[in-house]
């Protein structure tokens, strides 16, 4: 595993992925709901592509509210120290821990609230170690002010994953790429292979013009981004990220929209359609 252009040499030594996978895999074995999201989820979903490494990276997870207490207990039993004050005040939507390594652990509950609110409950159980692949992608595409690391993650997912609709046999495999990525296939055989669910993608965007506006705006940036910064496009990827972005944009344009969407579209950019999230102190 080499250091990528523009990344610090000590990033490899400081790689959080083994620790994060150990937590996610331990939770799966214990039947506790704890799934990776963020940049580490991207790496698990695209194990054959060059990883994005950076020192000091924290670990981002997701859980469901119905399993929040068991998730917190599992993390504490695994040596993670909770921020009790923060968790008591915010635990219905977010929890914070410090891993045995000293690395921060953020756990989002039911939803990820950033520029938009991503409710990840519907596809939560589809994959063994991460949120559903389309939710990981949407968590990046909903960022209004994209930075380079988020752009790289988007290109990684577009280049590394097949696309299709849930229930379509051509899109869903039976051998889990996540299990092999973790090096721990035990117990994960038969799990669905990750893919970008076009049905889920279209449904979310058709129901919320603000989501649609941000996501289509980011997809429109992909061709220029790939041309201007070719180093962000993963070498040897199985799919063309520009073509994949175009496919998703076509879905966003063609999916039938409801009256609420159309009324908000009439207002357009005259009213801000997104939030600018602030860093939450712990």
List, as own/partner pairs, every contact residues 215-223 make where C-beta atoms lie below 8 angstroms and the sequence separation is at least 24, other chains included. 215/138, 215/141, 215/142, 215/248, 215/252, 216/249, 216/252, 216/253, 218/141, 218/143, 218/146, 218/154, 219/141, 219/245, 219/246, 219/248, 219/249, 219/252, 220/249, 221/146, 222/154, 222/155, 222/158
pLDDT tens column, 19-70: 999 999 999 999 999 999 999 999 999 999 988 887 778 999 999 999 999 9
pLDDT tens column, 200-226: 999 999 999 999 999 999 999 999 999
pTM tops 0.75: yes
Dist CA 44 CA 41 (whole Å): 5
Residues written for the chain:
282
Dist CA 61 CA 165 (whole Å): 25
pLDDT tens column, 125-169: 999 999 999 999 999 999 999 999 999 999 999 999 999 987 655
| Rg, Å, the chain Cα set | 18
Dist CA 251 CA 200 (whole Å): 11
> In the chain, what are the domains?
10-268 (3.30.460.10)
């Amino acid at each position: 595993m080499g250091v990528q252009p523009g990344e610090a040499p000590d990033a490899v030594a400081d790689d959080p992925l083994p620790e994060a996978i150990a937590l996610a895999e331990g939770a799966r074995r214990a039947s506790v709901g704890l799934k990776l999201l963020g940049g580490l989820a991207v790496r698990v979903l695209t194990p054959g592509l060059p990883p994005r490494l950076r020192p000091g990276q924290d670990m981002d997870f997701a859980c469901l509210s119905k399993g929040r207490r068991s998730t917190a207990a599992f993390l504490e039993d695994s040596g993670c120290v909770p921020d009790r004050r923060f968790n008591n005040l915010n635990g219905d939507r977010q929890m914070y821990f410090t891993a045995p390594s000293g690395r921060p652990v953020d756990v989002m509950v039911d939803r990820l609230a950033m520029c938009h609110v991503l409710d990840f409950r519907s596809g939560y159980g589809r994959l063994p170690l991460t949120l559903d692949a389309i939710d990981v992608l949407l968590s990046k595409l909903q960022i209004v002010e994209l930075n380079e690391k988020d752009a790289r993650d988007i290109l990684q997912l577009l280049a590394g994953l097949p696309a299709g609709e849930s229930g379509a046999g051509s899109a869903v495999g039976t051998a889990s790429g996540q299990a092999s990525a973790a090096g721990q296939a035990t117990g994960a055989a038969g799990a669905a292979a990750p893919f970008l669910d076009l049905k889920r993608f279209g449904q979310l965007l058709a129901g919320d013009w603000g989501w649609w506006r941000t996501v289509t705006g980011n997809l429109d940036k992909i061709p220029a981004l790939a041309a201007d910064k070719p180093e962000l496009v993963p070498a040897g990827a199985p799919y063309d990220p520009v073509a994949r972005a175009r496919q998703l944009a076509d879905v966003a344009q063609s999916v039938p929209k409801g009256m609420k969407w159309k009324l908000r579209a009439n207002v357009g950019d005259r009213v801000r359609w997104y939030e600018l999230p602030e860093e939450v102190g712990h």
